[in-house]
Amino acid sequence: MTKSDDLKPVAFTQPVYPRFAGKWVMVTGAGTGFGAALAQRAAAEGANVVVHYNTSETGAKRTAEFVRASGGQAKIVRADLRSWEEIKAMTDDVWEFTGGLDALVNNVGDIATDQMSWRDIKEDVVDRVLAVDIKGTMLMVHENGERMLAQGRGAIVNIASTVVVKGSPRAPQYAAGKYGIIGITKSYAAAFAPTVRVNAFGPGFMETESTLTREDWNNGRRERVLSQTPMGRIPPPEELAAAALWLATEDTSHMTGNFIMCDGGYSMIGA
């Protein structure tokens, strides 16, 4: 891998295996945070990667650079996932370019970062979160899953959250959106079986750029989360990427409609 001031090797915790050698993997929201880690991990495992972004163009270009430095092909695409028309146009472009996706990871989600309490709810923020988390995820599954059915193979991983276990007194609309993803996952898993598998992955708290700059995170929230996490630490997104991508590999060929969590035990009952 080449090195530059803008491109540093990613310190993946787990060993890297060629689980996606020669395959096309698309990751939404791959310009920053967990999405970037997912795309980089897929590339490290041999994948060609479609890097989607909406506003983080600089980050998407950085992710694509990593993919190419890892030896894979990269295609950058932009779309606002609240728009079905933009999703359709992007999907047509992606499938024409790649010749077919092997895996889609729906990572994009709006967590209402600036909202610190349920008392601060605003209608436009509720609409935005639900449009991104539920509508956007559903339509991405719909459009790409239909094409995967036609090609005779494919795996879809929807990124949910452990918030579906504990809820979110800070942002109830975020919890509602992630609950919706579970329903979308199970519905399309039944509709697409046995040709296309659809599963959901629930990461716990990760120290991403957005988390580290949150007001509540820097005013006691981090310490509270740590005290309630049996594993005793909050990992970087790179540590969770391999587990999420596992759901898109042949190792999970008999798994569909499932929701698995990777949160250090945070949502464990009685923890």
Q: What is the pLDDT of residues 129-183, one digit of tens each?
A: 999 999 999 999 999 999 999 999 999 999 999 888 888 888 888 899 999 999 9
- φ, ψ for residue 66 (rounded to 5)? -65, -45
Give the confidence band of 4 by pLDDT, cuts at 50, 70, 90: very low
Q: Tell me the mean pLDDT in the region 33-49.
A: 97
- Share the mean pLDDT of the chain: 90
Give the domains, in start order, of the chain with CATH numbers.
Answer: 24-259 (3.40.50.720)
The H or E element that residue 36 is part of is helix 33-44
- Cα separation, 228 vs 211, whole angstroms: 17
Which residue in 7, 19, 4 sits closest to 241, CA to CA?
Answer: 19
What pLDDT shows up at residue 239?
93
- Cα separation, 56 vs 32, whole angstroms: 7
Least confident stretch, 4-13, 23-32, 262-271 = 4-13
Q: Tell me the mean pLDDT in the region 189-215.
A: 87
Residue 227 has which token pair? 């005290």
Q: What is the percent of the chain with per-residue pLDDT over 70, rounded to a whole number? A: 92
Q: Tell me the mean pLDDT in the region 237-258.
A: 96
Q: Which of 17, 53, 174, 266 is catalytic?
A: 174
Q: What is the percent of the chain with per-residue pLDDT over 90, rounded to a whole number? A: 66
Q: Does 271 score more than 60 pLDDT?
A: no
Q: Does 207 score more than 90 pLDDT?
A: no
Q: Tell me the mean pLDDT in the region 244-252.
A: 97
What pLDDT shows up at residue 1?
38
- The residue behind tokens 């996606």 is 20
Q: Does 94 score more than 70 pLDDT?
A: yes
Q: Does 211 score more than 80 pLDDT?
A: no
- The residue behind tokens 């750029």 is 209
**Backbone region of residue 191 per phi and psi (left: phi > 0; alpha: psi in -120 to 50; beta: other values):** alpha
| Contacts of residue 106, Cβ cutoff 8 Å, sequence gap at least 6 | 28, 136, 137, 140, 141, 156, 157, 158, 159
- Cα separation, 42 vs 18, whole angstroms: 9
The per-residue pLDDT for range 50-93, each reduced to its tens digit, is 999 999 999 999 999 999 999 999 999 999 999 999 999 999 99
Peptide linkage before 194 cis (omega within 30 of 0) = yes
Q: Tell me the mean pLDDT in the region 184-195.
A: 98
Catalytic residue at 266?
no
